Amino acid sequence: MSNVLTRDVLIKWAPLIVLLVLVLFFTMMEPRFFSLRNFARIGISSAPALMVAIGVTFIIIMGSIDLSMEGTVSVCAVVFAFAFIALGGTLASWAWLAIPLALLVGGAIGFVNGLVHVLLKIPSFMASLAMGFVGTGFALLLTGGDRIRVEDDLFRSLLTERWFGFPIMCYVALLFLLIAWFIQSRTTLGRNFYAVGGGEELAHASGLNVNRVRIMGFALAGIFYAVGALLAVGRIGIAETATGSNFMFVSITSVVVGGTALWGGIGGVWNTLIGVLIVNVINNGMVVIGLPGYVQDGVLGILVIAAVVLSTDRKSVTFVK
């Protein structure tokens, strides 16, 4: 290789470089940014978003899109909170069953999502957007607009208990990141995601059951949304309809900024980790250096466009719909 700095190499490492530059920039602007306390803050805000973003990463690798995360997260959070309180209200009792229940609900919503998309042949963005609204509405129906407090100390130790300065929820997120990585790189399901995203025709012509892969993908994404919901509840101690708010923009932005291609086949969960960190470093850094919130959104928007521009080989794409 005579030319080390090829476009491919640049694309591969660009997200990490952007992250490092951002950290450097904010540190220069405000040295307090570069502290364990602040990094823990970034970690706390990143953990739920990372779970949701990992879920949607799988879908985007398949070349589809899932917009149901806000509704799914809300439903999972609310169902979890109700079940948790009904079963005893502390992790030390049978209430721990609320955790697998929430994961099951997330997976079920994703499964239905996939069924609607595949069997009714509705484009994934539309099917999942609709499912998301259904979810948000359902969550509102369950709560009647109330907030449900989850005040169990054991559960809240997700946030309050710290190891090496970071709360437990960061380690939980890390664990699920590793699980996601395992699924992505070591299982037939993960391989199938790439095959469907890289060449659906070919995957079909190689005897893969593409529909089954899609449905499984949506179900898997739903489970990760549920994990995100649990961490979100653990973070603020409240489950409500609004628990899912804003996850759509943050997660999809993170996936794209992390370098996973929107048309599928390229990228992965590590890209998503970097993407989530970039988004949260920007959010956090701007607060730390004292810029108003609307600037953050603007910067993120520009970053998304830059990321897509960088990762698109425009010579090979003639029409964009």
Find the shortest distance in angstroms from Cβ 19 to other proteins. 24
Q: Which is nearer to other proteins, 89 or 198 (CB)?
A: 198
Find the shortest distance in angstroms from Cβ 13 to other proteins. 16
Site track 219-258 with other proteins (rule: CB under 8 A), x = hit: ----------------------------------------
**Contacts to other proteins from residues 164-223, by CB under 8 A:** 186-189, 191-192, 194-195, 198-199, 201-209
**Pick from 32, 240, 9: nearest CA to 145:** 240
Find the shortest distance in angstroms from Cβ 311 to other proteins. 12
Q: Which is nearer to other proteins, 32 or 186 (CB)?
A: 186
Query: How far is CA 290 from each of CA 212, 294, 298, 301, rounded to the nearest angstrom?
Result: 49, 12, 15, 19
Residue 137 in contact with other proteins, rule: CB under 8 A: no
Query: Exposed, middle or buried, 213 (CB in 10 Å: 0-12/13-18/19+)?
Result: buried
Q: Which is nearer to other proteins, 201 or 290 (CB)?
A: 201
Find the binder of other proteins among 219, 266, 274, 304 (CB under 8 A): 266
Q: Which is nearer to other proteins, 139 or 220 (CB)?
A: 220
Q: Which is nearer to other proteins, 162 or 186 (CB)?
A: 186
Rounded CA-CA distance 70/243 in Å is 8
Residues 6+ apart with CB under 8 A from 27: 33, 34
Q: Which is nearer to other proteins, 55 or 197 (CB)?
A: 197
Find the shortest distance in angstroms from Cβ 114 to other proteins. 17
**Cα-based angle 121, 259, 77 (whole degrees, multiple of 5):** 60
Find the binder of other proteins among 237, 265, 268, 275 (CB under 8 A): 265
Asked if 156 and 237 touch (Cβ cutoff 8 Å), the reply is yes
Rounded CA-CA distance 75/68 in Å is 11
Find the shortest distance in angstroms from Cβ 257 to other proteins. 20
For other proteins, how many residues bind (rule: CB under 8 A)? 21
**Pick from 239, 92, 217, 234: nearest CA to 172:** 234
Length reported for the chain? 321
**Pick from 201, 225, 216, 303: nearest CA to 53:** 225
Find the shortest distance in angstroms from Cβ 32 to other proteins. 42
Q: Which is nearer to other proteins, 137 or 198 (CB)?
A: 198
Find the shortest distance in angstroms from Cβ 83 to other proteins. 29
Q: Which is nearer to other proteins, 32 or 212 (CB)?
A: 212
Query: Exposed, middle or buried, 90 (CB in 10 Å: 0-12/13-18/19+)?
Result: middle
Tally the C-alpha atoms within 13 A of residue 56's C-alpha that lie toward its C-beta: 36
Find the shortest distance in angstroms from Cβ 314 to other proteins. 17
| Interface residue list for other proteins (CB under 8 A) | 186-189, 191-192, 194-195, 198-199, 201-209, 265-266
